[in-house]
Amino acid sequence: MSAALQMTAFGLALLSTLFLLLATCTDCWMVNADDSLEVSRATIFKVSHKCRGLWRECVTNMQDGVRTCDQYDSILADHPVKIVVTRTLLITADLLAGLALATLLLGLDCIKFLKEEPHVKLKMCYGAGVILSIGSILGLVGSVWYAVDVYVERAMLVSHNIFLGVHYDFGWSCWLGMAGSTGCFGASVLLTCCLHACAGQSALSHPIPP
């Protein structure tokens, strides 16, 4: 039971970490669909589709499918607060998730490392769970921070009756960040609460002889 729980947590943590890495590296945190229209024979076309990420902005021409990307200024340059905060939190979450994965891998029962020290391996699993929980909170805060900022920006335009042919939405990279953070949190629960309960039941079932 304990080994199956560890493998489930490891699989979930691995998938969630990949989601976090993809969210950090991809370029579609905010979708800015340019609704400038061309009218020809009563047919309306969208001209372009923009995706803004943490590192660059990409524009796709809806007519010919050509995609061009522009890198943001140097990382030391002044950037909007939402980009700086989200970058910092997501990169930290990625590093913590990676560290937790390495720790968890060594703590798995199926790995021969410290095979004679089951209590040490169990503590490594607990430690991986704690690290994952911290990383998941940071990733979730960063993703939600960005999403809320996009919503507020859109609400400000609507409240002032300003519409410049631009519609703002959360991009799939933002959703990936939220999904990866939630998955890491789920894995941390498995490695702390569930694994602790499982280990306690195992100790009761197999008491140490006097």
Identify the CA nearest to 190 among candidates 14, 19, 18, 12.
12
Collapsed DSSP state (helix, strand, coil) of residue 121: helix
Judged by average pLDDT, the poorest of 42-56, 62-76, 112-126, 151-165 is: 42-56
Mean pLDDT over all residues of the chain?
A: 78
Q: What is the pLDDT of residues 75-105, one digit of tens each?
A: 555 667 778 888 899 999 999 999 999 998 8
- Give the pLDDT of residue 81: 77
Collapsed DSSP state (helix, strand, coil) of residue 157: helix
Q: What is the pLDDT of residues 122-176, one digit of tens each?
A: 888 889 999 999 999 999 999 998 888 888 877 777 677 665 555 667 788 889 9
User: What DSSP letter does each residue of 68-103 carry, written as one string?
Assistant: EEEE-S-TTS---HHHHHHHHHHHHHHHHHHHHHHH
Handedness of CA 118, 121, 125, 130 (dihedral sign): positive
Span 47-69, average pLDDT: 75
- Backbone angles phi and psi of 175, in degrees to 5: -65, -35
Question: Does 170 or 29 have the greater pLDDT score?
Answer: 29
Q: pLDDT band at 194, cuts 50/70/90?
A: confident
Instruction: State yes or no: pLDDT of 210 exceeds 80.
Output: no
- Give the pLDDT of residue 46: 54
Considering just the CA atoms, what is the radius of gyration of the chain in Å?
23
Q: pLDDT band at 17, cuts 50/70/90?
A: very high
- Give the pLDDT of residue 38: 44
Q: pLDDT band at 184, cuts 50/70/90?
A: very high
CB hemisphere CA count around 122 (13 angstroms): 15
DSSP 190: I
Span 169-186, average pLDDT: 90
Q: Pick the most confident of 12-21, 33-42, 166-175.
A: 12-21
Q: Which two tokens stand for residue 123?
A: 């503590």
- Give the pLDDT of residue 207: 45
Inter-residue contact 128 to 107 (CB < 8 Å): yes
Residues in Cβ contact with 180 at an 8 Å cutoff, skipping those fewer than 6 apart: 16, 17, 18, 19, 20, 21, 22, 23, 97, 139
Q: pLDDT band at 192, cuts 50/70/90?
A: confident
